[in-house]
Copies of this chain bind each other. A is one copy, B any other.
Amino acid sequence: MSSPVTDSLILDRLKQLQITHPEIISHSPVKGSAEWSAELSTTAPNLSSVGLTKTLLFKPKTAKTATPTPVLVLAKESTETSSGAIGKLLELKELRLASEDLIKQVFPSAGSKDDVSALALPANPTIDENIHLILDQSLAQSQDQHALHLTASNTTILLKGQDIKSYFDSISKDNAVRLVDFAELKAATPAPSAPTAKPAAKAEVKPAAAQEDDEKYNMAIKYKKEEDFPGWYTDVLIKGQMLDYYDISGCYILRPWSYSIWQTIQTWFDDEIKKLGVQDCYFPMFVSNARLEKEKDHIEGFAPEVAWVTRAGKSELEEPIAIRPTSETVMYPYYAKWINSHRDLPLKLNQWNSVVRWEFKNPQPFLRTREFLWQEGHTAFLTKAEAAKEVMDILDLYRKVYTDLLAVPVIPGKKSENEKFAGGDYTTTVEGFIPTTGRGIQGATSHHLGQNFSKMFDISVESPNKDEGRLLAYQNSWGLSTRSLGVMVMVHGDDQGLVLPPRVALQQVVVVPVGLSKGEGKNQGIYDACLNLERELVKVGIRAKADLREGYTPGWKFNDWEMRGVPLRLELGPRDIAANTTLAVRRYDNHKSPMPLSDIGNTVRSYLDEIQKSMLDKAQEKFDSCLIPVTNWDDVVPTLDAKNILVLPWCEGSQCEDDIKERSKSQATKGQAEDNKAPSAGAKSLCIPFDQDRFGKFPEGENQKCIQCGEKAKSWTMFGRSDGWLVYEGTGTMSWAEGWYNR
């Protein structure tokens, strides 16, 4: 193959065509069009309306012995490019998006598929011998500037459509570049049916706004969950309207679709803790330097990520002021002030706020963001027993947030000595699991701080028994953050988009009219029936909405609401109305069943309950099937490689935990072919589950050996891979938000 094409070479080629000084923008590397667009709007706001392009590399199916000729397509981002139609045009079979290997062959300089740019093609005579090049005709004929990458996704060049065509003509043989009118091509090819449109839908009206409709089909999720998990995750969040990118890296906009879920969690959890006697309050977001630095060990963990305000208006502040990364040093001095008598205990305060940690690592929506929303509870008790009870009460509420609201299974347990919050006595956690990556994820933590902080801040009272002198309070702290929303999306979402559990979905049911007729006014009866159905549902407290938008086909609407994860779709057409039924389609498994319209409110309500339960059961089953008790070391790495969580008989020793990590890491280089980003991840402890019996009989007597050191094992402990995408260094789990304690 030829040597890599550089940015300079591309610019030289352009220069020879008299295209000089094209606009070039440097920015952060981007994945997909949403990020690209966001980056451009940040770095060059004036270009926010410039058209994006996409470069697609396909591999046709060939006999095993033959060398396939790849197909490169450069088109407007908005053009619908059907691989089926292209294959047909070129008389090639089953075009599939190219593997990383093939990408590397064609574009040696590309670090990943995100860097693929048609501009970086090697020169003549490669084209049309080694590769087919297809250019979107509407792009090639455009006088408008369009955005392309140079040789990597962190650089954007703006070129007129016509200049792009000239460029490819200049580096290929005559007529080697094929111009394709994709709209025409599509018209000439039998259209693939909309992902979930029923056959009946085809007979329906294609509205006047057909072109818009076609464009919107491109809004479907572009990545497969199993193939490109990070790309899928971002795409699902943005297209599902959970969030939007923001022009400050690491900050995201929580749109109503996600914020409403957080509000549901807030309302439920706040009610529950109030029953426990916890009161809400609000402490300032600012912390003075002196306070922050009071406890050196405490600050050490997060000092590198504290954001500092140093200026107000044009005045430099005398002392820089920190934005709280958490509120221990903010709150505890006042606990010392307020708590004087044993009558002042217990003191149980909670606040719902945002905290800031200026991470320099790659941000991830919900999981690692520079500002995030959470609740932090801080309580103080006269006795250790009361505090210990509360730790478990709160942990159980966290479990219920996950299982009962988000339909996400978690396992409550205790953190190992290595993994606990260093400032406390012990840490309890609810541990989740992302099947796609095979990794554990910390859901929320409830810490018993013992008297460590009360000693430090002098939170003490006269003993009620006069002769005991002063007693230090026993303290807890506990937190749950918006990362829980990210976990929910990762567990339930699928290739069609979000899948929301009914209990937290802002919209639980969408009613879609089907079987519409052409001609104005003809569908009023169906629309009325849909509105009536909506009313019936709303009346019994179901969050339902009829989608009567004109200009969209039912198929488009199905797709749209699937992408947004609405738990239940009710279709209503003339035949349904005649039969006094509606077709109910469950989002999470696409199961379809007719449902009588009489008493529809109650029917749907129990159906939603059933869906909620089934989603949890399904996820629970998957989690359970991936919790593998292993007593033989030889099974450790293969079990990890198969995306499982290990359940090991373990002595609970710190050194032994380090050894397990090292040993599994050194043996783990082979089996990782499918997960390049974590080539040598070792296993760390996730938690020691409180329910030990779920893993069956604990080995006894002679067999009761720690899998690593051979000493007597104390418990079944969950171990799993930790680093790699979506997982952070140093903690063993995705423990950023609450788990920063653990560092």
- Verify B321–A290 contact, CB threshold 8 A: no
Across the interface, do A371 and B310 meet the contact criterion of CB distance under 8 Å? no
Q: Does A185 contact B (CB under 8 A)?
A: no
When each residue 293-304 of chain A gets 1 if its CB lies under 8 Å from chain B and 0 otherwise, what string results?
000000000011
Give the CA-CA distance A281 to B506 in the complex, in Å.
12
Name A358's contact: one of B48, B251, B282, B313 (CB within 8 Å).
Answer: B313
Asked if A321 and B248 make an inter-chain contact with CB atoms under 8 angstroms apart, the answer reads yes
Q: Within the complex, what minimum Cβ distance (angstroms) separates A244 from chain B?
A: 6
Q: Of B256, B309, B310, B338, which one neighbours A281 at CB under 8 angstroms?
A: B256
Tell me the residues in window 372-387 of chain A with beta carbons closer than 8 Å to chain B beta carbons: 373
Contact of A309 among B41, B262, B307 (CB under 8 A): B307
* A284 proximal to B (CB < 8 A): yes
Residues of B within 8 A of A42 (CB): 288
- Tell me the complex Cα distance, A41–B251, Å: 35
A259 in the interface (beta carbon within 8 A): yes
CA distance A305 to B313 in the complex (A): 5
Taking a contact as CB atoms closer than 8 A, the residue among B288, B312, B333 that contacts A307 in the complex is B312
CB 8 Å contact bits of A251-292 with B (1 = contact, 0 = none): 111111001101100000000000000011111111110110
Inter-chain contacts of A338 with B (CB < 8 A): 244
A313 and B306 in contact, given A280-B259, A281-B253, A284-B251 (Cβ under 8 angstroms): yes
Q: How many identical subunits does the complex contain?
A: 2
> Does the CB pair A281–B308 fall under 8 Å?
no
Chain B residues with CB under 8 Å of A286's CB are 248, 251, 370-371
Say yes or no: A304 contacts B314, CB within 8 Å.
yes
Interface residues on A, range: 35 or more
Residue of B nearest to A280 (CB): B259
Rounded to whole angstroms, the CA-CA distance of A334 and B256 in the bound complex is 14
B244 touches A334 (CB 8 A): yes
Interface centre among A279, A308, A370 (most CB of B within 10 A): A308
Most buried by B among A263, A288, A309, A314: A309
Q: Is the CB of B288 within 8 A of A247?
A: yes
A357-372 near B? 1/0 per residue, CB < 8 Å: 0101000000000110
A552's closest neighbor in chain B, by CB? B343
Cα A305 to Cα B315 with chains together (Å): 9
Q: Judge if A633 is at the interface, Cβ distance under 8 Å.
A: no
Residue A349 lies at the interface, judged by CB distance under 8 Å to chain B:
yes
Contact A253 B282 (CB under 8 A): yes
Are A246 and B308 in contact (CB-based, < 8 A)?
no
The reply on A710 being an interface residue by CB < 8 A is no
Give the chain B neighbours of A254 by CB distance below 8 A. 281-283
- B309:A323 contact, CB within 8 angstroms: yes
Q: How far is the CA of A305 from the CA of B290 in the complex (A)?
A: 23
In contact, A280 and B253 (Cβ under 8 angstroms): no
A287 to B287, CA, bound (A): 20
The interface residues of chain B lying within 8 Å CB-to-CB of A198 are none
Interface residue? A88 (CB, 8 A):
no
What per-residue 1/0 map shows which CB atoms of A325-369 lie under 8 Å from chain B? 000000001100110000100000100011010101000000000
A291 to B43, alpha carbons, bound, how many Å? 12
Is A320 interfacial (CB-CB < 8 Å)? yes
For residue A592, CB closer than 8 A to chain B, the reply is no
If the complex has contacts A263-B280, A371-B284, A549-B343, are A313 and B309 also in contact, measured as CB distance less than 8 A? Answer: no
Determine whether A125 belongs to the interface, using a CB cutoff of 8 Å to chain B: no
A312-B307, A358-B313 known; A260 vs B248 contact (CB < 8 Å):
no
Complex Cα–Cα for A349 and B244 (A)? 14
> A461 CA to B43 CA in the complex, in Å?
25
Find chain B residues with CB under 8 A from A260 CB: 279-280
Report the bound CA distance from A506 to B277 in whole Å. Answer: 13
- A379 to chain B minimum Cβ distance, whole angstroms, is 13
Query: Which residue of B has the minimal Cβ distance to A244?
Result: B334
Specify which chain B residues have a CB less than 8 angstroms from the CB of A283 in the assembled complex: 246, 253-254
A45 within 8 A of B: yes
Contact residues in B for A334 (Cβ distance below 8 Å): 244, 253
Judge if A539 is at the interface, Cβ distance under 8 Å.
no
Cβ-based interface call for A15 (8 A):
no
Residues of B within 8 A of A247 (CB): 288, 290-291, 333
CB distance from A460 to the nearest CB of B (A): 12
A93 contacts B by Cβ under 8 Å:
no
**Which residues of chain B have C-beta atoms less than 8 A from A455's C-beta?**
none
Given the known interface contacts A256-B349, A283-B253, A285-B371, the answer about A312 and B321 at a Cβ–Cβ threshold of 8 Å is: no
A311 within 8 A of B: yes
CB pair A308 B304 closer than 8 Å: no
- Identity of the chain B residue whose Cβ is nearest the Cβ of A270 in the assembled complex: B263
Question: In the complex, A353→B262 CA distance in Å?
Answer: 14
Q: Within the complex, which residue of B284, B311, B333, B353 is in contact with A320, where a contact is CB–CB below 8 Å?
A: B311
Interchain CB contact under 8 A, A284 and B45 = no
Is A284 within 8 A of B248, CB to CB?
yes
What is the CA–CA distance of A253 and B313 in the complex, to the nearest angstrom? 24
Return the contact of A310 from the options B279, B308, B323 (Cβ within 8 A).
B308
Contacts of A308 in B (CB 8 A): 309-312
A48 to B457, CA, bound (A): 12
**Assembly CA distance A358 to B286 (angstroms):** 12
What residue in chain B is nearest A302 (Cβ atoms)? B313
State A284–B248 Cα separation when bound (angstroms): 9
Contacts of A311 in B (CB 8 A): 307-308, 310, 320
When distances are taken between beta carbons in the complex, the residues of chain B under 8 Å from A259 are: 279-282
Q: Which residues of B have CB within 8 Å of A279?
A: 256, 259-260, 506
A362–chain B nearest beta-carbon distance, Å: 15
Closest to A506 in B: B279
CB contacts (< 8 Å) of A251 on chain B: these are 284, 286
Provide the residues of chain B in CB contact with A349, threshold 8 Å.
256
A371 nearest CB across to chain B (Å): 6
Closest chain-B Cβ to A287's Cβ sits at a distance in Å of 8
Which residue of B248, B255, B284, B373 contacts A246 across the interface (Cβ within 8 Å)? B284
- 10 further A-B contacts with Cβ under 8 Å, apart from A42-B288, A45-B290, A260-B280, are A41-B337, A244-B334, A246-B284, A256-B349, A285-B354, A303-B313, A306-B313, A307-B311, A309-B323, A310-B311
25 contacts between A and B (CB under 8 A): A244-B338, A246-B283, A246-B284, A247-B290, A247-B291, A248-B284, A248-B321, A251-B286, A253-B334, A256-B281, A259-B280, A282-B373, A285-B356, A286-B371, A304-B313, A305-B312, A305-B313, A307-B312, A308-B311, A309-B310, A310-B310, A311-B320, A315-B360, A323-B323, A353-B354
- The residues of A with any CB-CB pair to B shorter than 8 Å are 41-42, 45, 48, 244, 246-248, 251-256, 259-260, 262-263, 279-288, 290-291, 303-315, 320-321, 323, 333-334, 337-338, 343, 349, 353-354, 356, 358, 360, 370-371, 373, 506, 549
Which 5 pairs from chain A and chain B are nearest by CB? A312-B358, A256-B279, A251-B284, A304-B313, A254-B282
